[in-house]
């Protein structure tokens, strides 16, 4: 309230002044000497200017600044979101199964190009509340609701997945923080880590660190070295701890301690994790499950297209052991074998190859051994290229071609059979945008036609996955429409 | 940020000007000649006026305009909602079963008056994000959460129906759109169609088209003819495809293509739909289920009370075959017979019959044959009148009387027996409003007393519906309180 | 839109004026006499002042006032929230079971200190829409989503509890309301009662009245006596109505009528409730279940620390019979015996004992007989002290010690055994805040170490509760991090 009152008072001053002074000035015109009248005028002008200036510099300006911050999401409530929703219909006139993870390799993170490969509705609604305190400190509260549905209906209560993915507070500009912590911010709660980054075209992160915990961002030891520290907890689903007796169940926690170091464009991430009694878990009939793990990533964030042209590129090498062998969703897989080892390599770049043509090539590949069962082996590689031809300010043609090769030897884990072969997809997508320009600006409304083909051998990998379905073999055409936005 | 900086600079100019010029002016008063001083004054006034004008026309005005748009839901985040919540207690001291669809005819869309007939909490929370782009284009993103509960408790996690009913983006003012599309807007995602309209008093739409897809609004072929085109997908629930073997299940999609034509107040809607292998579905032991359908509606939107007085009226004739025989919830019923035919007629009007009395009479009727089983027949008619007497600016007495007659021959479909008879209801509802005036302004807080009565024969229609319940036969009184709002 | 147009017009006037008058003034400078020029100047100044004043007092000011209200949550959309999220890990490296209700007494409302005793994520997201009407009336619409999860994962769809806890409208400043109702507000829908108040440190309310209904606040019979009236419905879960035959189920409603009287700092609350056929319910094999009840509370709200120093205190005596014997969650327990009686006493205070040390001592105790089974008895007392040492503007050390004694004789109700003994807990919590000062300002980010110990006898009370778990006996250390906020 105080601000409002202050403002009102200031304005009263200004208005009051005008009423009080302008009337006498008018009367004065009759009898006073020119000399007096000019002096009066000068006086009035000076006072008017002074008063006007006071009013300008008062609560009104503060409000205007506050509104500017409000509209820019820097104060009070703000709304962020991501959403995609659409249809993807096969030649049989029914929704095409699957998504970027539809191939056998997808079961271990081997995504393929997403364009024209999604028939679901996924939405994230993020509500923020930003506060500024008298001492200059800032607080950012965030809660995110998310839902995933493959139903095209408007009422999906029966299969709703709506849940709360993030709830946390983060403090910054804390006056009591000094030295290496002067510009540090601290957080606690449930969140996606700030430093996650992704291959947009595969709907896959390089690394995705998330859970419930606390951390510190932007500890600056010197100009060249910044560090972020975090502790995240993950909950492993309940599991039988004994196969002989009737299965009682138990659950456990995986605690992940992560240090993220930045040296200019170079990022070195190192994580260690421990999951209490996870070694008691029974997987594929035996108890060799990991109860600890380590994960690391060396990444480079380039501000050009590999130094060749304008754009950007990112390249990273990820490796993990034990619970760390799930190298993307860090610490989230409780079934990993104690001997599990994985190495993953990823690279992408974006640039313009002419005034209106953009290109984004990428490669993601992983090799993983003793992952769930001693002796199993998972090898896959995905290559993907997204092309866009900007026709006018509201329309562009998008093209995506993706190719994946895989050699998977799951050793019957989860009833899976060996799978060796290839998958390929080509998509053409006429795309509408409020304003074209670059790979990252949304929203988009797109139609698409996709042709995909794959080795028949891949259909035997699992009965439950897309390729395992009777009416989904060999190659196929799919057609669809989709909206996508983020802000 | 740019806007903020711009504004700050402008204001610095103005303030700075005042400081620099007013002080010399004051000193000047001592020695300069009248001539010079008057010239100085004139000069100052002109400059002051110019500067003031510059400031006015600067970033500050843009911000004020932006805030006006923000508060009017035209830019940035905006919130829309619908909600009703209350109690409806029967003579036995327990919640009265049912809602406007409580009669046997309700099972095929025959709603009755809702006033004093609702004991649930239904809420729609709609979050919008509106963007304006440099090229003048606009984007409207919308996500709607909705929940329905018959529990009076505050914690309803166990029976929560919370789900996402809409997620879509719509673009308008696209500079690249010209000719017939100059004022067109395009959309994709999951939504309620923009052109749906309803009988508020029955909680029933004339037509309710919704699902996941894409479309174009406001294609203008000429001044007299506007067309909207849309493709909506619906998901049919899983169903057994064979009754002899153990029922495996399968699901399918219903694709609905709709053209909505407007010729002034006349609307002609035509929809065709196709649902892949829905003919394999087994209903009532046989496989005569429709896998395609057609639906049409001819409507008139009147801007007076049937030309007799001020107000409005709407009248529509709807007809459908096969999957189109569900004439309201277009394309949503996968059990319809291949020979199903339905015809529905609806009309309502609203007007003032004196300074403080409003009236809204309406009729809704349908006849439907071979709907789910060859030879079945469903005929029903509902007449309803809502009356309101505006006592003062915050209070009005509302009255509703509804009558329904039905003759249903379901041929044992879903275990239903023939039902022939009548239902009647009278409700008196003292109603509080922040500001009375018209049928559409909300919120309202109402108490009500309802007396309803119906033919005993109707109790045998189904064991599962309201009338089928042991403690709910013959006629009855119910009493309740309720809040309703939309904005 | 009207406001925008008005503003634009006003500004046009001002700018227009400047252009039209300043230019002639400039030309005039050449030939007119000093006399004429001074008159012109005076005239211009007067008009300029008048015009400026008009502009100031116009739509722009309205907008600035409106924005002030908007940012202060008084008009349009506003967002409120509560959230806590964190980890609490035991010596075994796994999440510690339980929360403030983890002891046997917790099963009948006997909470203990919450600091360092919570391992869950609980969030309330409240969306408000506030309207002001031409006649001066105001409407406040509120919908609250809430979720509770013990999972540390970011995707919790499988065990999501997300549900709608509040949906209501409240009207105030109704011009038609006069006399005792002049300042009254009315509401209907699903809500937490406005008059609930709590022991923050136990996560327990003194009284928690909530449900679906309607009411009136702030009826003022005279300066000394204000009354609030409400009718709340509660839904009792389904229950078998007969033990001999195969259990059919039925559900019922509990209607709670409450009068809340305020005489200055004194509050007297009286509630009567009736639950139709709840007496048919079978509990512990017999049908002595209450179908009515009465509840009352006498409370004092102190604006000092018991008159000794600055701060506040609250003290209350609650008592209930039958369905009223659940003295906190009024009317929410349908299993209470017809002879159940409970009496609860609570008191807390907060104050500063030095410049930077705050203290908040409290006691909560209850005695309850014939609660669920004739002859059962539940007696418990909790004493808790929260201490805080404000180290600097962003950091404080928080300490909490809690002690509980209990003597429970459940008579095998719900398979529970007698439990007699003590529980004690000490927690140290280094706490970060954007700005320290008082017990109520949030957000907070805290780490904590907790040592708790209890009588072994308590482990046998129930197999299902925290103490009943194999790996949770005797005393233990837990360590954690947590965020908490409300706004």
Q: Å from B166 to nearest chain A CA?
A: 6
Q: Which of these, B200, B105, B91, lies nearest to B441 by C-alpha position? A: B200
Chains with at least 3 CB pairs less than 8 angstroms from chain B: A, C
CA distance A166 to A212: 9
pLDDT band, residue B240 (cuts 50/70/90): low
Residue with tokens 């990252």: A440
| B128 and B177 inside one domain | yes
CA distance B52 to B33: 28
CB contact under 8 A, C481 and A21: no
- Chain C residues with beta carbon closer than 8 angstroms to that of A25: 42, 45-46
Please check whether residue A43 touches C, CB under 8 A. Answer: no
A59-71 and C59-71 helices, crossing angle to 10°: 60
pLDDT along chain A (487 residues), means of 10: 39 38 45 78 77 63 87 96 96 87 96 96 98 97 97 95 98 98 98 98 98 98 97 85 48 92 98 93 88 98 98 98 98 97 98 97 98 97 98 98 98 94 97 96 97 93 80 80 98
Please check whether residue A463 touches B, CB under 8 A. Answer: no
Predicted local distance difference test score (pLDDT) of residue B57: 56
Structure tokens at A119: 């028939």
| B437 and B359 inside one domain | yes
DSSP state, A304? S
Q: How many CB atoms lie within 10 A of CB C361?
A: 18
- Chain A residues with beta carbon closer than 8 angstroms to that of B25: 42, 45-46
Predicted local distance difference test score (pLDDT) of residue A385: 98
| B80 and B104 inside one domain | yes
**pLDDT tens, position by position, B54-68:** 555 567 778 888 999
Tell me which residue in B137, B167, B232 faces A121 most closely, judged by beta carbons.
B167
CA distance C282 to C236: 13
Q: How many helices (H) and strands (E) does chain C have?
A: 3, 20
Substitution target from C143, C154, C437 for chain A, most A beta carbons within 10 A: C154
Q: How many CB atoms lie within 10 A of CB C288?
A: 18
Tell me which residue in B61, B394, B485 faces C169 most closely, judged by beta carbons.
B485
Please check whether residue C164 touches A, CB under 8 A. Answer: no
Residue C42, phi then psi, degrees to nearest 5: -55, -45
Domain, as residue range, for C325: 76-486
- String of DSSP letters for A394-419: TEEEEEEEEEEEEEEE-TTGGGPPPE
- Chain B residues with beta carbon closer than 8 angstroms to that of A35: 34
Predicted local distance difference test score (pLDDT) of residue C224: 95
Note whether A445 and B171 are within 8 A (CB).
yes
Helix (H) or strand (E) holding A428: strand A419-432
| A49 and A84 inside one domain | no
Contacts for A269 with CB less than 8 Å, ≥ 6 apart = A195, A207, A258, A259, A260, A261, A295, A296, A297, A298, A299
Is residue A438 left, alpha or beta, with left meaning phi > 0 and alpha meaning psi from -120 to 50? left
A384-413 residues touching B, CB cutoff 8 A: 392-395
Note whether A487 and B129 are within 8 A (CB).
yes
Residue A185, strand partner residues: A217
What is the number of alpha carbons within 13 Å of residue A180 lying toward its C-beta?
A: 11
B407-446 residues touching C, CB cutoff 8 A: 432-435, 443, 445-446
| B390 and B245 inside one domain | yes
Q: Å from C363 to nearest chain B CA?
A: 28
**Mean pLDDT score across all residues of chain B:** 89
CA distance A11 to A18: 11
pLDDT band, residue B245 (cuts 50/70/90): very low
B74 → chain C, closest CA residue: C1
Structure tokens at C217: 């606040």
CB contact under 8 A, B190 and A38: no
Tell me which residue in A45, A77, A85 faces B167 most closely, judged by beta carbons.
A85
**pLDDT tens, position by position, B82-128:** 999 999 999 888 888 879 999 999 999 999 999 999 999 999 999 99
- String of DSSP letters for C73-142: TSSEEEEEEEEEEEEEEETTSSBPP--TT-SGGGGGT-----TT---SEEEEEEEEEEEE-TTS-EEEEE
Q: Where are the beta strands (DSSP E) in B393-475?
A: 395-409, 419-432, 444-454
CB contact under 8 A, B189 and A61: no
| C85 and C32 inside one domain | no
- String of DSSP letters for A48-98: HHHHHHHHHTTHHHHHHHHHHHHHTTSSEEEEEEEEEEEEEEETTSSBPP-
Average confidence (pLDDT) over B145-161:
96
Q: Which of these, C68, C85, C204, C189, lies nearest to C140 by C-alpha position? A: C189
Surface-to-core class of residue B8, CB atoms within 10 Å of its CB (0-12 exposed, 13-18 middle, 19+ buried): middle
CA distance A186 to A194: 12
Q: Which of these, B323, B235, B215, lies nearest to A119 by C-alpha position? A: B235
CA distance B185 to B216: 6
CB contact under 8 A, A212 and C57: no
Residue with tokens 């199964």: A97
CB contact under 8 A, C154 and A191: yes
pLDDT band, residue B261 (cuts 50/70/90): very high
Please check whether residue B192 touches A, CB under 8 A. Answer: yes
CA distance A435 to B135: 7
Chains with at least 3 CB pairs less than 8 angstroms from chain A: B, C
Residue C242, phi then psi, degrees to nearest 5: -155, 130
**pLDDT tens, position by position, B100-111:** 999 999 999 999
| C98 and C37 inside one domain | no
CA distance B341 to A215: 64
Please check whether residue C263 touches B, CB under 8 A. Answer: no
Contacts for B406 with CB less than 8 Å, ≥ 6 apart = B103, B104, B105, B110, B378, B379, B380, B381, B419, B420, B421, B422, B423, B458
- String of DSSP letters for A191-235: EE-TT-EEEGGGTEEEEB-EEEEEEEEEEEEETTEEEEEEEEEEE
| A10 and A30 inside one domain | yes
Pick the last residue of a domain from C42, C72, C102.
Answer: C72
Least confident of B37-41, B46-50, B365-369: B46-50
Predicted local distance difference test score (pLDDT) of residue B17: 37
Tell me which residue in A48, A167, A276 faces C94 most closely, judged by beta carbons.
A276
| C51 and C80 inside one domain | no
Please check whether residue B485 touches C, CB under 8 A. Answer: yes
Note whether C48 and C74 are within 8 A (CB).
no
CA distance A329 to A107: 13
Helix (H) or strand (E) holding A299: strand A292-302
CA distance C325 to B392: 43
Please check whether residue A453 touches C, CB under 8 A. Answer: no
Structure tokens at A465: 């996955």
Q: How many helices (H) and strands (E) does chain B have?
A: 3, 20
CB contact under 8 A, B87 and C37: no
Predicted local distance difference test score (pLDDT) of residue A29: 46
| C337 and C389 inside one domain | yes
Pick the last residue of a domain from C48, C72, C96.
Answer: C72
B138 → chain A, closest CA residue: A434
Contacts for C169 with CB less than 8 Å, ≥ 6 apart = B83, B443, B445, B483, B485, C139, C140, C141, C142, C187, C188, C189
Q: Å from B343 to nearest chain C CA?
A: 38
CB contact under 8 A, B435 and C210: no
Spans in chain C with pLDDT lower than 50: 1-29, 243, 245-248
Tell me which residue in A50, A83, A87 faces B22 most closely, judged by beta carbons.
A50
Q: Å from A109 to nearest chain C CA?
A: 17
Substitution target from C163, C205, C255, C279 for chain B, most B beta carbons within 10 A: C163
CB contact under 8 A, B41 and A42: yes
| C158 and C239 inside one domain | yes
| C16 and C130 inside one domain | no
- Chain A residues with beta carbon closer than 8 angstroms to that of C69: 4
What CATH number has the domain bearing residue C474?
2.40.170.10
- Chain B residues with beta carbon closer than 8 angstroms to that of C146: 155
Exposure string (b/e) for C182-202, b if CB count within 10 Å is 16 or more?
eebbbbbbbbbbebeebbbbb
CB contact under 8 A, B127 and A123: no
Note whether A290 and A252 are within 8 A (CB).
no
A253 → chain C, closest CA residue: C94
CB contact under 8 A, B76 and A71: yes
End-to-end CA distance of chain B: 32
**pLDDT tens, position by position, B322-366:** 999 999 999 999 999 999 999 999 999 999 999 999 999 999 999
Note whether B141 and A83 are within 8 A (CB).
yes
Surface-to-core class of residue C270, CB atoms within 10 Å of its CB (0-12 exposed, 13-18 middle, 19+ buried): middle
Note whether B346 and B199 are within 8 A (CB).
yes
Contacts for C147 with CB less than 8 Å, ≥ 6 apart = A163, A164, C121, C122, C123, C160, C161, C162, C163
CB pairs under 8 A between B and C: 224
Pick the last residue of a domain from C28, C53, C72.
Answer: C72
Predicted local distance difference test score (pLDDT) of residue C217: 98
B77-96 residues touching C, CB cutoff 8 A: 77-79, 81, 83, 85-87, 89, 92-95
Q: Which of these, C397, C315, C319, C318, lies nearest to C361 by C-alpha position? A: C315
Q: Å from A212 to nearest chain C CA?
A: 5
- Chain A residues with beta carbon closer than 8 angstroms to that of B191: 154
DSSP state, B266? E
Tally of domains within chain B: 2
A11-40 residues touching B, CB cutoff 8 A: 34-35, 38-39
């Amino acid at each position: 309230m105080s601000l409002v009152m202050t403002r009102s008072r200031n304005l009263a001053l200004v208005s009051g002044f005008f009423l009080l002074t302008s009337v006498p000035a008018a009367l004065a015109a009759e009898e006073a000497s020119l000399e007096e009248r000019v002096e009066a005028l000068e006086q009035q002008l000076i006072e008017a200017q002074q008063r006007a200036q006071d009013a300008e510099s008062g609560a009104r300006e503060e409000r205007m600044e506050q509104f500017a911050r409000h509209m820019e999401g820097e104060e009070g409530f703000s709304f962020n979101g991501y959403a995609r929703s659409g249809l993807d219909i096969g030649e049989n006139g029914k929704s095409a199964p699957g998504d970027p993870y539809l191939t056998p390799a997808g079961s271990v993170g081997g995504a393929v190009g997403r364009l024209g490969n999604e028939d679901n509705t996924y939405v994230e609604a993020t509500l923020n509340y930003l506060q500024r305190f008298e001492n200059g400190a800032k607080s950012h509260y965030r809660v995110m609701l998310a839902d995933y549905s493959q139903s095209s209906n408007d009422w999906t209560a029966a299969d709703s997945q709506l849940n709360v993915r993030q709830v946390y507070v983060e403090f910054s500009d804390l006056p009591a923080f000094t030295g290496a912590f002067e510009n540090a911010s601290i957080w606690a709660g449930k969140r996606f880590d700030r430093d996650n980054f992704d291959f947009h075209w595969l709907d896959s992160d390089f690394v995705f660190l998330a859970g419930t915990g606390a951390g510190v961002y932007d500890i600056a030891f010197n100009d060249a070295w910044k560090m972020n520290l975090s502790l995240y907890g993950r909950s492993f689903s309940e599991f039988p701890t004994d196969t002989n007796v009737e299965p009682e169940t138990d659950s456990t926690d995986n605690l992940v301690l992560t240090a993220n170091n930045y040296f200019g464009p170079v990022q070195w991430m190192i994580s260690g994790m421990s999951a209490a009694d996870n070694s008691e878990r029974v997987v594929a009939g035996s108890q060799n499950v990991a109860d600890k793990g380590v994960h690391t990533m060396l990444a480079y964030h380039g501000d050009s297209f590999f130094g060749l042209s304008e754009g950007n590129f990112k390249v990273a090498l990820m490796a993990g052991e034990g619970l760390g062998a799930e190298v993307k969703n860090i610490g989230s897989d409780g079934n990993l074998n104690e001997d599990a080892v994985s190495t993953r390599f990823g690279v992408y770049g974006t640039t313009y190859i002419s005034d209106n043509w953009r290109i984004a090539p990428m490669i993601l590949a992983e090799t993983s051994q003793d992952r769930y069962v001693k002796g199993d082996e998972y090898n896959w590689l995905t290559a993907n290229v997204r092309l866009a031809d900007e026709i006018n300010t509201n329309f562009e043609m998008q093209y995506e071609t993706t190719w994946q090769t895989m050699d998977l030897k799951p050793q019957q884990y989860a009833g899976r059979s060996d799978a060796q072969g290839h998958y390929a997809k080509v998509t053409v997508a006429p795309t509408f945008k409020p304003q074209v320009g670059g790979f990252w600006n949304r929203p988009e409304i797109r139609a698409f036609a996709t042709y995909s083909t794959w080795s028949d051998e891949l259909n035997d990998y699992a009965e439950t996955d897309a390729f395992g379905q009777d009416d989904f073999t060999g190659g196929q055409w799919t057609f669809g429409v989709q909206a996508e936005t983020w802000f």
